[in-house]
Structure 1
Amino acid sequence: MEGRKLLNTEVAISFVKDTFVQQLKKSLNLIPISSPLVVLDGTGLNDDLNGIERPVSFPIKSLNEKRAVVVHSLAKWKRVRLKELEMLPGEGIVTDMKALRPDEDYTPIHSIYVDQWDWEKVIDKNQRTLALLKETVLKIYDSLRYTEKEVENKYPQIQAILPETITFISSEELLQKYPNLNAKERENAITKEYGAVFLYGIGGALSNGVAHDGRAADYDD
């Protein structure tokens, strides 16, 4: 009986993933592609996250013992792949990314194993605006809400809880709203208040001299 429960859970997980990616593809004009689990060390393709996380690495016999590293994320690889595939502005890619992050802290939403949808698309320089960012976030959020509704229809015991809209706020505005809380406490407080929040501007120093969160220094190169 326990095995059947586990099987039903796996079926439900597959349903959620399939439903969401199909909606995401339509909303953002994305083409599914395969992605690597490992890349060669020293190529610059692996995302070093905050710059202190250690990747899993091993030598490759057939490549004269060159070392390979298990990806942390595909942030840099995706941009190279877009160029290799000669994608045009407005076109993008999506992939089911697998990764290992051995230095990750365990939480209810994080572990050393990463399995997530990862996407990237080409835009013109003049499109790098906050307006386009928000427009894109709304499309992703609509895909999430669509998926949640489909899950509720298929599994009535699971109720949809996401609010109709997502709230946008900058990390500086968030600091001013909750000046006596640390970064994670501010995130928790704003999410409790609005239910769904998109926080932007997390990498630079705020008015208190501290960045909201860490990120790779060359992430936006």
Structure 2
Amino acid sequence: MIESKIRISEKLETEQTLHFAKMCFEEQLKKHLPLTKVSAPAVVLQGTGINDDLNGIERPVSFPIKAMQEQPAEVVQSLAKWKRLRLKEYELPAGTGIYTDMKALRPDEDLGKIHSLYVDQWDWEMVIHPEDRQLSFLKQQVEQIYRAVKDTEMELFKKYPELNPFLPSEITFLHTEDLLEKYPHLSPKERENKAAKEFGAVFLIGIGGELVHGKPHDGRAPDYDDWSTPTSASTKGLNGDILFWNPVLEQAFEISSMGIRVDPEVLASQLEIRNAGARAELVYHRQLLQGELPQTIGGGIGQSRLCMFLLKKRHIGEVQAGIWPSEMRVECLREGIQLL
């Protein structure tokens, strides 16, 4: 009975720390990027092209609507395209944008210590000038997000001294081509582990396009991030992932995926590369190809991922309530991991 009360008390303490961490990061995000918080949908209509395909193979959760039997709905997987449509509606000037609480379901995730069915993100999107479509601009926004994380880390340390800060003062920029050249015999995840452990915090550029001497580092759908624009004689891509070295799990830990979004020319090219030309007839894609949508940059910052990292937790189920296989629950109990 006493043990049960202790466990409940620790869980409530975690919930309080979670609330404080999320509140701090939202404030820091608004401080470092000119973003306004807006409401977001939990579902979108199927067949419009608005829902994201992520790596292009994940199944969205879909269901019929009683009042609209002719068109089913899908639970969002992320809001990259929806945000761009919203920016058009708001008519925001370049250099300003929006962010929202994105709550998604991804049933094809392999459940584990860093993956769950439920995905929560601070999804953000900002209008840019056409001339901002370059690597230097992307890096500037990455640095602002990193500053928001670092400042949140320090605020947590002030309130909870046991959560000592350990992120490096600066984030390191690497291209996926650099990692392939340096570690040609390792898998992409093994390369990420090497880089994250060496530098502590890395922005890995160029995810989605084929590398010079190999397959893509990882998958990306062809219709939101620009992964094909050349940035040098041997590199391409105006997108990437923010990776931290997680000393608790001893592995690279993805916090965010972000990038400059496709313009009409890049969208047409990437659809052709992926043999996905049929998407050009979808509502969203037609608008983009016709130049009706603003140029943007954006991404998603994992709420549970960031909190798991900053609170030094061993399992994502310690920072979000979820559904887990019974054998995983037993294993967590054996390891002293308290799932919410």
User: Does the pair score TM above 0.5?
Assistant: yes
Secondary structure of the residue that 2:25 maps to in structure 1?
A: helix
Secondary structure of the residue that 1:205 maps to in structure 2?
A: coil
Displacement of 1:4 in angstroms is: 2.2
Structure 2 residue aligned with 1:159, among 156, 164, 170?
A: 164
Matched, 1:6 2:11: yes
Displacement of 1:215 in angstroms is: 0.7
* Structure 2 equivalent of residue 182 of structure 1: 187
Q: Percent identity?
A: 58
Q: Distance in 1 between matches of 2:113 and 2:32?
A: 29
Structure 2 residue aligned with 1:193, among 187, 198, 215?
A: 198
How high is the TM-score relative to the length of structure 1? 0.97
Q: Distance in 2 between matches of 1:128 and 1:34?
A: 27
* Structure 1 equivalent of residue 130 of structure 2: 125
Q: Where does structure 1 lack aligned partners over 5 or more consecutive residues?
A: none
Q: Which amino acid aligns with 2:44?
A: V
How many pairs are equivalent?
A: 221
* Structure 2 equivalent of residue 68 of structure 1: 73
Secondary structure of the residue that 1:102 maps to in structure 2?
A: coil
Counterpart mapping for 1:67-216 below 5 A = 67-216=72-221
Q: Distance in 2 between matches of 1:130 and 1:107?
A: 34
Matched, 1:43 2:28: no
Q: Which amino acid aligns with 1:192?
A: K
Displacement of 1:110 in angstroms is: 1.9
Q: Distance in 1 between matches of 2:125 and 2:216?
A: 25
* Structure 1 equivalent of residue 21 of structure 2: 16
Q: Which amino acid aligns with 1:211?
A: P
Q: Which amino acid aligns with 1:170?
A: H
CA RMSD of aligned residues (A): 1.1
* Structure 1 equivalent of residue 286 of structure 2: none
Secondary structure of the residue that 1:69 maps to in structure 2?
A: strand
Q: Distance in 1 between matches of 2:117 and 2:68?
A: 27
Displacement of 1:107 in angstroms is: 3.4
Please list the CA deviations of residues 56-99 of structure 1 after superposition, one character each: whole Å capped at 9, or x if unmatched.
Answer: 11111012353110011111111111111111100110111100
Q: Which amino acid aligns with 1:17?
A: K
Displacement of 1:3 in angstroms is: 2.0
Displacement of 1:109 in angstroms is: 2.2
Displacement of 1:20 in angstroms is: 0.5
Displacement of 1:176 in angstroms is: 0.9
Secondary structure of the residue that 1:208 maps to in structure 2?
A: coil
Q: Distance in 2 between matches of 1:217 and 1:107?
A: 27
How high is the TM-score relative to the length of structure 2? 0.63
Runs of 4+ more than 4 Å apart: none
Secondary structure of the residue that 1:64 maps to in structure 2?
A: strand
**Contact (CA 8 Å) 2:54, 2:220: kept in 1 or not?**
yes
**Contact (CA 8 Å) 2:61, 2:74: kept in 1 or not?**
yes
Q: Distance in 1 between matches of 2:38 and 2:77?
A: 18
Displacement of 1:106 in angstroms is: 2.2
Q: Distance in 2 between matches of 1:64 and 1:175?
A: 49
Q: Where does structure 2 lack aligned partners over 5 or more consecutive residues?
A: 225-261, 268-340
Q: Which amino acid aligns with 1:157?
A: E
Q: Which amino acid aligns with 2:49?
A: G
Q: Distance in 1 between matches of 2:81 and 2:58?
A: 16
Displacement of 1:202 in angstroms is: 1.3
